Chains A and B, each alone.
Chain A
């Protein structure tokens, strides 16, 4: 019998399951295989304003007819377009322009947040195991009633996670996760979720920048 701890929860498992479970738990803790201190990524993107290089969407599942338009679109020329649906207090369309250095830093931070390299299957697997563990050890069940799905799309001409990684051409990464902020609270042991939630907050901060100009 093996006895070990992940994120403050104790597991007791037997036989052949143990090794596999330990691996999944390890992945959950590390964040989908991403190292804790990733090397500086290298990337290249189109500097025109044709297709956004970053899109941010919140899918409100409570709503029968949510506005499908992204809340945030960031273009390669630094233009940031914010669209707040009609049912928001500040409903309307806004713009601002990011200087090249700030745009570069934003993409870099999303990479360091693990958004670009996020492995949803592995992280979800670890999440499920943590839930099962919680149920087994504490008898506790947990539900978030009406989810919001965070969808972040990153489009780059070229992306290289680190010097040792193979470069990816025409990267079109779609990150999608439900109840990201709640999971960040619930699973503090998951670096992947913690970093993704930080990335989400980074993008949400753009929605309330004081230098946004409302479009007519």
Chain B
């Protein structure tokens, strides 16, 4: 099948035609124009890329001010749709399922959705052309849906839908037609997008299709979408809208084409000439407007009149752009604002011990009252997310022994709008080891490393807490087991005492007693100068001073008993404040005085 295109002017008898044909020979004639980028074509350049009016080749934010002409009879009603369009272009979020017809939209039957048509026309005003051959090709009906191309050497568009019978798809047979549609090198699928978007991932040349086994660039027409498994989807820049149809969000191909241009004059993303389009709403105004929208008495349903100038080889900058809509058309002016993102209530880091359970309540709200869905990323095996379907969810934690550690988790609340928007938070679930005795030491650590009792704060009953970074008496832990607040459990590890022995050096003085009174708990020859005279019962002083203590002291002096460090610690009273290391008569005299003075 072939079709005429470009309305080439046949030579005729009229002299004017002769003159025209001569100019045709100079390449000044072809009426066919436009492509994936507006202005692209045989005359201006096949590889031409068009940029918004405020881009001059220098990277950064490219601001485009969009206004509503105050002379428009529907100026006020246009405000929400226009602002919605601006939000959509600024988000640059690709969507699928962006076509809504009949009862699936809020457009009354027999009306045309202003917001959808304005989105299309704004795309033109930003430099985008139709992705399909469209009416400017001279084709009619379904043939307008072939991918944008010029007619090649034979001056005729070659139109064959290929084996799949779907116009605009990857197997179209287009003869010598020259593709104008920038497509994704990796898969020629206009309903996907690559990263980055630049000349490394997108091309207009058909040579990249060879490795894919495709014959022509596919365009984001709704029939092609159906073929590729993404029904009810179409590029906004596909010409051909139905009344009672809403298409208010961008498809992947729309976003890719804008982002390709935004890779700048070098068509390479990630360097200094890249830009970001930022549309600004200028209100109902004629001041400082880059794009103006008007409802007028134009016979056209809607159009954007665009002018541009070259800013480099194959690069054009728009100079003026204005949109007009037919005041006689039955426009539907959407009153719903574009989808707003949900808000997830703050969560924050959470701590839990092994063997414990915890339910974390999650909640989110949506300004549009859209249904919300929760999702989680990075969940450990001991965590489960339950979505209650009402804007709340619970994250249930049940870490088993051996799960200790820190787990970064991301929770997202996603709304049901189009495009779907989300709010999320990444936080840490910190699982501490189980600590049955509450001494701050994980049970498995006590069992496998320290050898202490996970059910006792002081496993060896020496008066020192089981621990790892210091030595503190149990009695001196008014603030708990980390009295020094250094984040580590106080204990006996640093002095090298055995946390499983009450008396590491075997001098019959508990390690805790020695530490508390300044002697070395690992040295049997070192004992504290308790000098309290408490010797009885022998080997386990009872804290009382009485005749029993004197009798033991007397037996030591008489040589009937040998003083151990325990007896020396208690019974070496003389000289006072400077024990001499034995128990003799001087000590006995002082002990007798204490017995006599004891209550």
A binds B: yes
- A63 CB contact (under 8 Å) in B9, B29, B243, B330: B243
Q: Which residue of A lies closest to B31 (CB)?
A: A128
Does A89 sit at the interface, judged by CB under 8 A? yes
Flag if B307 contacts A146 (CB, 8 Å). no
How far is the CB of B51 from the nearest CB of chain A, in Å?
13
A142 to B319, CA, bound (A): 10
A88 to B22, CA, bound (A): 44
Using an 8 Å CB-CB cutoff, how does the interface string of B41-83 with A read, 1 for contact, 0 for none?
Answer: 0011000000000000000000000000000000000000000
Does B538 sit at the interface, judged by CB under 8 A? no
Instruction: Please report which residues of chain A, range 82-104, place their CB below 8 angstroms from some CB of chain B when the two chains form the complex.
Output: 84, 86-91
How far is the CB of B77 from the nearest CB of chain A, in Å?
13
Flag if B298 contacts A181 (CB, 8 Å). yes
Using an 8 Å CB-CB cutoff, how does the interface string of A128-149 with B read, 1 for contact, 0 for none?
Answer: 1100100100011111111111
List residues of chain A with CB within 8 A of the CB of B319.
Answer: 140
Identify which of A20-28, A47-55, A108-116 touches chain B. A20-28
Flag if A24 contacts B303 (CB, 8 Å). no
Do most interface residues of chain A lie in helix, strand or loop, or is the interface mixed?
mixed
Flag if A140 contacts B302 (CB, 8 Å). no
How far is the CB of A30 from the nearest CB of chain B, in Å?
10
Known contacts A61-B239, A64-B241; A148/B299 CB under 8 A? yes
- B308 CB contact (under 8 Å) in A22, A121, A140, A150: A140
Interface size of B as a range = 35 or more
Does A126 sit at the interface, judged by CB under 8 A? yes
Known contacts A23-B19, A27-B14, A121-B10; A143/B306 CB under 8 A? yes
List residues of chain A with CB within 8 A of the CB of B542.
Answer: none
Identify which of B32-40, B162-170, B350-358 touches chain A. B32-40
Interface size of A as a range = 35 or more
A181 to B239, CA, bound (A): 21
How far is the CB of B13 from the nearest CB of chain A, in Å?
10
List residues of chain B with CB within 8 A of the CB of A149.
Answer: 135
Flag if B299 contacts A180 (CB, 8 Å). yes
Flag if A23 contacts B300 (CB, 8 Å). no
How far is the CB of A203 from the nearest CB of chain B, in Å?
10
Does A62 sit at the interface, judged by CB under 8 A? yes
Q: Which residue of A lies closest to B319 (CB)?
A: A140
Known contacts A86-B243, A87-B243, A121-B17; A146/B9 CB under 8 A? no
List residues of chain A with CB within 8 A of the CB of B241.
Answer: 62-64
A158 to B302, CA, bound (A): 38
Flag if B305 contacts A88 (CB, 8 Å). no
Does A206 sit at the interface, judged by CB under 8 A? no
A151 to B328, CA, bound (A): 18
A20 to B20, CA, bound (A): 8
Does B316 sit at the interface, judged by CB under 8 A? yes
Does A213 sit at the interface, judged by CB under 8 A? no
Flag if A91 contacts B34 (CB, 8 Å). no
Known contacts A20-B15, A20-B19; A60/B300 CB under 8 A? yes
How far is the CB of B219 from the nearest CB of chain A, in Å?
15
Flag if B39 contacts A141 (CB, 8 Å). yes
How far is the CB of A29 from the nearest CB of chain B, in Å?
11
Flag if A147 contacts B135 (CB, 8 Å). yes
Flag if A144 contacts B242 (CB, 8 Å). no
Q: Which residue of B lies closest to A125 (CB)?
A: B20
List residues of chain A with CB within 8 A of the CB of B396.
Answer: none
List residues of chain A with CB within 8 A of the CB of B302.
Answer: 62, 146
Instruction: Please report which residues of chain B, range 229-248, place their CB below 8 angstroms from some CB of chain A when the two chains form the complex.
Output: 239-243
List residues of chain A with CB within 8 A of the CB of B310.
Answer: 139
List residues of chain A with CB within 8 A of the CB of B330.
Answer: 87-89, 91
Does B121 sit at the interface, judged by CB under 8 A? yes
Identify which of B109-117, B274-282, B547-555 touches chain A. B109-117
Does A170 sit at the interface, judged by CB under 8 A? no
Flag if A62 contacts B23 (CB, 8 Å). no
Does A33 sit at the interface, judged by CB under 8 A? yes
Selected A-B contacts with CB under 8 Å, 26 pairs: A19-B19, A23-B15, A27-B15, A62-B240, A62-B301, A63-B240, A86-B243, A88-B329, A89-B330, A91-B330, A119-B14, A121-B17, A122-B16, A124-B9, A128-B23, A129-B20, A132-B28, A143-B34, A143-B305, A144-B303, A145-B121, A146-B121, A146-B302, A147-B303, A179-B303, A181-B300
Q: A63-B242, A89-B329 are in contact. List 11 more A-B contacts (CB 8 A).
A: A17-B19, A23-B19, A63-B301, A121-B10, A122-B14, A128-B20, A132-B29, A139-B309, A142-B307, A146-B302, A179-B300
Interface residues of B (CB under 8 A from A): 7, 9-10, 12, 14-20, 22-23, 26, 28-29, 31, 33-34, 38-39, 43-44, 110-112, 117, 120-121, 124, 134-136, 239-243, 298-310, 316, 319, 328-330
4 closest A-B pairs by beta carbon, nearest first, are: A20-B19, A61-B135, A125-B20, A64-B240
